[in-house]
Amino acid sequence: MEAAKYVSELVEKARVAQAVIENYTQEQVDALCKAMAKAIFDNAEPLARMAVDETGMGVYEDKVNKNKGKARVIWSDMKGGKSVGIIRQLPELGLTEVAKPMGVVGAITPTTNPIVTPMCNAMFALKGRNAIIVGPHPRSKKCSTRACELMQEAIVKLGAPADLLQCVAEPTIEISGEIMKQCDVCISTGGAGMVKAAYASGKPAYGVGGGNVQCIIDDDVDLEKVVPMIVAGRKFDNGIICSGEQTAITPAAMYDDMVKTFQKNGAYYVEKPEEIDAVRNVIFPGGKMNKDAVGQSAQHIAKMAGLTVPADTVVLLVKVEKAGAGEPFSKEKMCPCIAAYRYNTWEEAVAIANANLNVEGKGHSVCIHSYNDAHIDYAAETLPVSRFLINQICSTNNGGSFFIHDPPLLVLRVFLVPIRRDSGEVFAGASFGLPRCPDFLAGVLGVHFIEYVADGGKLAVPAHTVHTVIDGNKVDAVLWKQHFRIHPDLQIVTPEPAHILNDNALDLARLDVGKHPLESGPVE
């Protein structure tokens, strides 16, 4: 069957199903979302095994933790959120926000995250009373399809139509293109080409492109604490996550100690010119990311490059002299490889990060390890990113976790928010964002939060947006109560465990940044 006809049939069934839940109550909608999260949580192990076996990428244990952790944290953040009826009233402006569904969401999902991305897309779509059609990557079609089947079975048990959530069994480029054209909203997660196609579809589209998270180390930090965090983030799921640390930009005076600390934590330091060239040519043959290196272990990458490394090697730390264009190591490396730079001044460190972001990852994320407020402010004001983490493991905390007081933003929630003036004038604006998040306030008036950069397929944040700052040094007590069930009078004064104001005896092991941050209990 030709792609256009096949997709049109999916869309028709989705519209019929969406009409059934268009008038669902908030309670009914939330029950569907919880059921989908629980389906993934309860089947985290077999889905992780399927993903590793089918794609040949990543780490089984990490995928289990990601499946469980993201199911729990996305539902935890979503629970209680308003997406039906009147969202908010702004009497001082004479405005009322009313949530209405967009219709059918088309979601193109990647092989690098074949379980969690479809889950999040589906939960966010149904939260807004939309139907969704998932177009998985051909290399992960079996595990993505299975994840969608489990979620579909869960919502059917609650009386919802099965066609609210459909998954393309045999995805092709042509089918993906038709999904973008025929659905009402498109969310595309993948490479630059797929992002470009989404924005060229003629439909409201949100592209989630590559990251290139620059990690800057200040001279006031303890390397014995910071380096294990960077290693933990870089090795997670064999470096396949776009929010993972990509560089270690270090003061020149601390560089040698940084290298030694990395080596103590399972890094092999690649410093000989011939070894640097060998690793570069393996990861970036012809200057482009090698698909055969994506999601592979440091041991495997080293073997491909002809290097002999210790058996306990988990990360390749590569000495890099040049930042920006012309150096492949300045790009996103979707494997456990991290580029090591040295700097003399903080301004130089930020310039290195900026140069790399301008090659790839602009609009994505940065991670700073520092206690110098002036340095933090300078980097936050200078670097073109939408998320700015301070003293955190970026890979696992950036998209939302139980350990930072910020809403998860793995993908966007999608629903229409018409704005009605008391005078009767109606603004035909659409919001494809988080109604509780100030970053998306501009989106209420029809302003896109994330815009596409045509020449690179990247994400860029316009100047009018508010940066989201995730600061390990500071805690919002209200959100800690909401997300962590900690008494609001307690304040975290350090990211380390057991350092709780007024109760130093309290051992909160889950705050230990050296441990995996996604371990969590069942979906409740």
- Give φ, ψ of 31 to 5 degrees: -65, -40
Question: pLDDT band for position 203 (50/70/90)?
Answer: confident
pLDDT for position 140: 95
CB atoms within 10 A of CB 140: 25
pLDDT digits (tens, 9 = 90+) for 139-192: 999 999 999 999 999 999 999 999 999 999 999 999 999 999 999 988 888 777
User: Could you tell me the domains of the chain?
Assistant: 3-210+405-460 (3.40.605.10), 214-397 (3.40.309.10)
Is residue 58 within 8 A of residue 108, CB to CB? The reply is no
Residue 438: pLDDT over 70: no
Alpha-helical (H) ranges within 410-486 are 477-484
Residue 428: pLDDT over 50: no
Residue of 242, 337, 367, 394 marked active site:
242
Residue partners of 107: CB distance under 8 A and separation at least 6? 117, 118, 121, 122, 125, 132, 133, 134, 135, 186, 187, 188, 189
Residues in the chain, total: 524
pTM score, two decimals? Answer: 0.76
pLDDT for position 195: 75
Residue 218: pLDDT over 90: yes
Question: pLDDT band for position 523 (50/70/90)?
Answer: low
pLDDT for position 400: 58
pLDDT digits (tens, 9 = 90+) for 284-310: 999 999 999 999 999 999 999 999 999
pLDDT digits (tens, 9 = 90+) for 365-396: 899 999 999 999 999 999 988 888 888 888 88
pLDDT for position 395: 85
Please confirm, yes or no, whether 148 is among the known catalytic residues: no
Token match 């959530």: residue? Answer: 165
Please give the mean pLDDT across all residues of the chain.
79
Question: pLDDT band for position 403 (50/70/90)?
Answer: very low
Question: pLDDT band for position 524 (50/70/90)?
Answer: low
